[in-house]
Chains A and B, each alone.
Chain A
Amino acid sequence: MAKILVIDDSSLTRTMTGHILKGLGHEPIFAVNGEEGIKLAAEEKPECIILDLLLPGMSGKEILTALQEKKIDIPVAIVTANTQDIVKEECLKLGAVCVVYKPVKKEELEKVINKLLKV
Chain B
Amino acid sequence: MIKLTDQQLDGLTEIINIGIGSAASSLNEIIKAEIELKVPVIKIVELENIANEDMGFVDEDLSCVKISFSGNCNGVANIIFSNESAANLVNTISAKQFKNVTMDDIKAQTLEEVGNIIIGGVLGSVGNMLTKRFDVALPVYMEGSIGFILNGNDCERGGTVVLIKTTFKVKNLSIEGLIILVFMVDSFKTILSGIDNLYNSCKDAQR
Contacts and interface: CB of A to CB of B under 8 A. Distances in A.
Contacts of B14: 10, 12-13, 102
Contacts of B35: 84
The list of the 4 closest CB pairs from A to B, nearest first, reads A81-B21, A19-B202, A83-B25, A10-B14
B17 A15 contact: no
Contacts of B15: 12
A81 B20 contact: yes
Given A56-B39, A82-B25, A86-B28, A15 B199 contact: yes
Interface of B: 6-7, 10-11, 13-15, 17-22, 24-25, 28, 34-35, 37, 39, 129, 195, 198-199, 201-207
B181 to A, nearest CB: 16
Contacts of B7: 11-12
B24 A12 contact: no
Interface in A69-92: 80-87
B207 A30 contact: yes
B17 A81 contact: yes
Contact of B206 (A14, A81, A102): A14
A22 interface: yes
